[in-house]
Amino acid sequence: MLNEFWLPFTKTPLFGILLTLLVYALVAWLAKKSRFHPLVNPVALSVLLIVPFLVYTGVAYEDYMVGAQYISFLLGPATVALAVPLARQLERVRKAWLPLVCGLLAGSLVAVLSVVLVAALLGAEDVLIISLAPKSATMPIAMGVSEKLGGLASLAAVGVMGTGVFGVMTARYIFKIIHIESPEIRGFMLGLTAHGIGVARGFQISNEIGTFAGLGMSLNGLLTAFLVPVVVALHFLLF
């Protein structure tokens, strides 16, 4: 009786939507209870809950995405909406443009070079290097760039998610170690290194930090799309 209801239900859009929203409501509650501790990350916890659930119940990922794709679609409008708080901070962006540009150039270059060099020295295959090179960009950019260069979009997505989760978990401690107090720099660093997950974390702290995180994420995505093909080409020439 239960299977007669369950199996058809898992193939409807409502299943993916409900599962995603219920899990997110739970992890958001846990994050709030922990006072948004960086180790209680909603994205990481959601993955740790949804993946085992799908495996245990035997629900195919494709069936889950029938409904979850509608939530994924909202990433586009949410990204565009970041322009609203940014417009309110334009004066502060103008005043801090020089350190922000320097940080963008250094951060983007190091993010791409480090993974390519380390992976190459460890003997990783070319497809792995290409897939992980754009790990600090947003997921759509990283997947698109890696696929165009011959990498695996799915592997690029894993790299992006891992980078974002690790970034928000360690950011607080890194800020303390190097004595970063400026909300503009904190936010920009979060967005540059941890993309969308960093932006979400930034808005949990304050609108100001979230706004600059959105700026860092957007600019780094554009620069990474240009840097990755160049760095990958140099890798093929040198190794």
H/E stretch holding 68 = helix 61-73
| Token representation of residue 54 | 């799908």
**211 backbone dihedrals φ, ψ, rounded to 5°:** -65, -45
Looking at residue 1, its pLDDT comes to 47
Q: Which residues of the chain fall short of a pLDDT of 70?
A: 1-4
Assigned token pair, 198: 């960093």
pLDDT of residue 177: 93
Burial class (CB in 10 A: 0-12, 13-18, 19+), 34: exposed
Backbone angles phi, psi at 135, to 5 degrees: -60, -25
**DSSP per position, 103-153:** HHHHHHHHHHHHHHHHHHHTT--HHHHHHHTTTTS-HHHHHHHHHHTT--H
Residues 220, 191: contact at Cβ < 8 Å? yes
Query: Which residues fall within 8 angstroms of residue 226, CB to CB, at 6 or more apart?
Result: none
pLDDT tens profile 37-92: 878 888 889 989 999 999 998 888 889 999 988 888 887 788 788 788 888 888 88
Domain chopping of the chain, boundaries = 2-77, 88-238
* pLDDT for 4: 66
HSE toward the beta carbon, residue 228, CA cutoff 13 A: 29
Structure tokens at 9: 């239900």
